[in-house]
Chains A and B, each alone.
Chain A
């Protein structure tokens, strides 16, 4: 059954089975979207926020206008709820400690230890840089690179045209490049004029 018909059926009859079907249909995608907003290492919070999204959906379902797309409306609700949660809880994840804790559990010491160490350091640097990105860029970066979501799906989840998502991703990489350069050199890449004189 189509989403809109399912919603109409639920609103007409209050049938819990219809609501359960909606949750089953969207729970994984909503969870991924919430995770991309909250960032890595917030699995427990992400599930809590995801529950909050579906509770809100249950309360607000009657506000849904059938003229708009149900999935877009639900993703918008999920994105805003996750963003509110992130702001209210002022997430400043200690990436280094969270990451090291996680790595201790899943460590694979079979490879070259120096390479493993360099990989881990690079990963922490990248994560710290991503956390400094503006909200929408960070979400798109996590969705695409961490959660392996195709750009078409990212566009659908954020209610944006695919071209816009591509340009946001490009812009995000630009900012990340600058941030990483800053982190690695302390001041960033020297200007061209200065480069010649030195």
Chain B
């Protein structure tokens, strides 16, 4: 097979023009509209609900660890401090991705 520059254009044309060309399905618009309405139904409310739930559990855990620290008089600050920054570790990347998207 000759691969010189002057033949390459022809080779590419011959090789690729005969390839099957994909077609968009005729109900594409309908499926986009349907997906949008589905997303609107689930809405932003569901995200907030999860966030509030997570905040509730986190606060409960923070209070428990504070209580445990004071009761046992060991690691009074370490455990609460770890718990305090833990949401940043877990939620940080997710929030960052959401902002980017």
Contact = CB atoms under 8 A, between A and B. Distances in A.
Interface of A: 16, 19-20, 23-24, 27-28, 31, 35, 40, 43, 46-47, 50-51, 54-56, 58, 102, 106, 119, 122-123, 125-127, 141-142, 145-148, 173-174, 176-177, 180-181, 184
Contact of B17 (A51, A56, A148, A176): A148
A66 to B, nearest CB: 23
Given A102-B20, A146-B19, 8 more contacts: A35-B22, A40-B20, A46-B22, A50-B28, A56-B101, A123-B16, A145-B15, A177-B8
A28 B22 CA distance: 10
Question: Chain B at the A interface: mostly helix, strand, loop or mixed?
Answer: helix
A37 B14 CA distance: 20
A20 B32 CA distance: 9
Across the A-B interface, the 6 shortest Cβ-Cβ residue pairs: A145-B16, A43-B22, A126-B15, A146-B16, A180-B3, A123-B15
B12 A126 contact: yes
Contacts of B9: 173
A55 B36 contact: yes
A173 B5 contact: yes
A126 B29 contact: no
Contact of B11 (A43, A58, A126): A126
27 contacts: A16-B33, A20-B29, A20-B33, A28-B24, A40-B19, A43-B22, A43-B23, A46-B22, A47-B24, A47-B25, A47-B28, A50-B24, A51-B32, A51-B35, A56-B101, A119-B14, A122-B11, A122-B15, A123-B18, A142-B16, A145-B12, A145-B16, A147-B21, A173-B12, A180-B1, A180-B8, A184-B3
A194 B52 CA distance: 73
A145 B4 CA distance: 17
A55 B33 contact: no
Given A56-B101, A146-B17, A173-B9, A181 B3 contact: yes
Contacts of B36: 19, 55, 58
Given A55-B32, A173-B8, A145 B13 contact: yes
Given A27-B28, A47-B28, A146-B17, A174 B33 contact: no
A47 B21 CA distance: 13
A184 B7 CA distance: 15
Contacts of B35: 51, 55
Q: Select the residue from A35, A119, A125, A145 with max chain B CB neighbours within 10 A.
A: A145
